[in-house]
Structure 1
Amino acid sequence: MHYLRSRIMEELDISHLTEKLMHGKGESSAPALTPKEKYDTWEKIKILSFTRTVSSIWAMTLLSLYVRVQVTILGRHLYLDFARVTDGAQLQEGSDTFSKSGHKDFLATADYLATYGINALITKMQHAATEILKEKQLKDPMGIDEVLETILQILKQFMGLCEDNSWINYLVPENANVYAQLMAVSSSGFDDSSLLKDVRKLDQLMSETRIVLSRNIMDRSLKKIASVVVEDLAVQIGAPIPPPGLPLAKLLAKVAQLSLPLLEEPDKNKHIQIIRSMPEVELFYTFLYANMPPET
């Protein structure tokens, strides 16, 4: 999660834009910004602030669900392998083969989002945010409920842009052979085909994961986390926001900061704990372990 956080903060850094606004006010030797330059800078801050937080909501939620899917699928495979084998020697051999050929490599795909998928995710999320926010002016009042609705609209727009569940490609490698090649290059520093392993088991596990992720369990989790995030925003603001709300420009800094707690390490991340404790999520994984994913 630490690397994912650093990637999102790096790709969606807003500090240079806020500094540009400060310098443009004449607080430095830099020339003052023209009205158009000031407007364009604020518009970029608006888009990036929401993109950063909504990307963090999506990435944290999906990665949390993905890791649990991995563990559940592996557990079911191990159980079935043990159940099918009756001879002690065959049991040991089958267990070792599974562990070495698929177990470690499959679990390592949890890093795929932060390492390879994050740039494409951010680009698509920024397109979604731009579309939803284009009619929202900086002076327009916005209340807490409207912030939540805006976040949910961006998430919906993002998923709509990802045709045929293509968002799964941000989390799970499309091709086991290509992924194995990437890992070989990463570990050796050069393209060494001798480091490639038999990827049949990895390919099987990845295929099963893609099927499971294509189900609808994430929608409820995303909505739940979005609600919690907006509750945190209300706490940050402190005093109740009088209707019809605060100017959007005054909310942007706080919206951007909402991304930080979302990407805390799992043992300190209340959002991950909330997802894990959702009854529908627990039920989903119970059925998944039994190889009967429910329709949701």
Structure 2
Amino acid sequence: MLSLSRGLWNRHRRKLFIALGALGGGYVIYKFYDAHRRRVTLLERQLEGVREVDELIKSQLQNHFENIQRISDTTTLPYAMHYLKSRIAGDLDVSYLTEKLRQAKGQYSTLTTKDKAELWERLKILSFTRLTTSVWSMTVLCLYVKVLVNILGRHLYVDIARGSESSETLDEVESFGRHGHQEFLATADYLSTYGISKLIMNMQSAAAEVLKDKQLKDPFSMEKLHEMIMQILQLFMSIESPNYWISYLVPENAVTYRQMMALPFSGFEDTSALMDAGKLEQLVSETWAVLSSPEFRNITELSLNKLVNVLVEEIDMQLKGGSSSAPGAIPLVTLLPRVTQLAPQLLDEPSSNKFIQIIQSLPEVQFFYTLVYSNMPPLS
């Protein structure tokens, strides 16, 4: 019996080994497949979780972005614009010139013809200086405040996402205070506080240069008026150096600026509004980089050109007086009162300021702020 079993084993052992090998290999393959299937299922669950988190982040980013824009429109810009309007009204007041010219028409005026000509010349230059200063400062301040708030908003969002800040929703402007960033937001007033005097001086130089050969009796079409205003603005933007105008808006030295800003807080126990000097320097540096970028200059020039178009159309409509006929060429002296009257309107409250709304509705401007907030692609 034993010999029979051995015979069977010898004759069929190769087949048995192959069968056992096949069974063993199949089991191993099944185990590999089962492990792989489990890994794929786990990975799919993880990917689904990642997608859900990604959608949540996108939603939070959009909500946060909209909150940042609302803060800019309802708080930061109105306050800065109010201060700017008061500075321009005070530093470029032309009422004393118009009053002297009105008195010069009187029977007992002692002004000579030369005196009257000098008054008219000063009124001509100051009127256009006031208009171009108003349109430039309003446009650039509007754009700058948006840049400023979006840079800060991006930093706060990243800080919150990393867990270094609380997860509170930034629905109110006080949220910026809780994060100690008023100091950076306060640079919105840098133009009105420190930059406006130099701005006016250079704008007046540009206006005097462009207007030096323009006589009060010279006829001006609306196209020629538009061209002259743009010449003043373009000459102003190139005074000293191509990007010198940035110094009107942003402190060149964050440390020095921080020392100046520390004074208003020196009498208070709560100094949380004073952020770390390194953080302020980083934010100011990023702001300079954005304002120096070709993209920002492009939207600035686009906005200025658009607003000058609107201003010239306003003057044209006033001169027509409701008539559909074109007024033709108008003496420069007739245009001066219109130019003087339009300047203050440019600096009205942002919520009712159609000029600001025109800027903010430009698709190129809206897209630019999306890039600033997301920091993609790089702006430098």
Q: Contact 2:183 / 2:275 at 8 angstroms: preserved in 1?
A: no
Structure 2 counterparts to residues 1-296 of structure 1, below 5 A: 1-27=81-107, 29=108, 31-85=109-163, 90-92=164-166, 103-188=181-266, 198-215=276-293, 216=297, 217-237=299-319, 238=321, 239=323, 240-243=325-328, 245-293=329-377
Supply the AA of the counterpart residue of 2:231. Answer: Q
Q: Contact 1:181 / 1:196 at 8 angstroms: preserved in 2?
A: no
Distance in 2 (alpha carbons) for counterparts of 1:151 and 1:72: 31
For structure 1, the 5+ residue unaligned runs are 190-194
2:64 alignment counterpart: none
Between Structure 1 and Structure 2, whose CA radius of gyration is higher?
2
Quote the offset at 1:100 in angstroms. 5.8
Q: Contact 1:26 / 1:32 at 8 angstroms: preserved in 2?
A: no
Distance in 1 (alpha carbons) for counterparts of 2:193 and 2:263: 14
Q: Which has the higher contact order (CA 8 A, sep 6+)?
A: 1
1:241–1:182 distance in 2 versus 1, CA, 3 Å: farther
Q: Contact 1:64 / 1:272 at 8 angstroms: preserved in 2?
A: yes
Query: What TM-score results when the alignment is normalised by the length of structure 1?
Result: 0.88
Query: What TM-score results when the alignment is normalised by the length of structure 2?
Result: 0.69
The DSSP-based 3-state class of the residue aligned with 1:167 is helix
Q: Contact 1:106 / 1:205 at 8 angstroms: preserved in 2?
A: yes
1:113–1:156 distance in 2 versus 1, CA, 3 Å: same
Q: Contact 1:212 / 1:293 at 8 angstroms: preserved in 2?
A: no
1:100–1:172 distance in 2 versus 1, CA, 3 Å: farther
Distance in 1 (alpha carbons) for counterparts of 2:251 and 2:313: 34
| 179-188 vs 152-161, which moves further | 179-188
Quote the offset at 1:101 in angstroms. 6.9
Supply the AA of the counterpart residue of 1:5. Answer: K
Overall identity of the aligned pairs, in %: 55
For structure 2, the 5+ residue unaligned runs are 1-80, 171-175, 268-272
Quote the offset at 1:197 in angstroms. 5.6
| 226-235 vs 246-255, which moves further | 226-235
CA-based RMSD of the aligned residues comes to: 2.6
1:173–1:63 distance in 2 versus 1, CA, 3 Å: same
Distance in 2 (alpha carbons) for counterparts of 1:214 and 1:34: 49
Quote the offset at 1:15 in angstroms. 1.0
Quote the offset at 1:25 in angstroms. 2.1
Distance in 2 (alpha carbons) for counterparts of 1:60 and 1:111: 12
Quote the offset at 1:24 in angstroms. 1.9
| 214-223 vs 18-27, which moves further | 18-27
Q: Contact 1:53 / 1:258 at 8 angstroms: preserved in 2?
A: yes
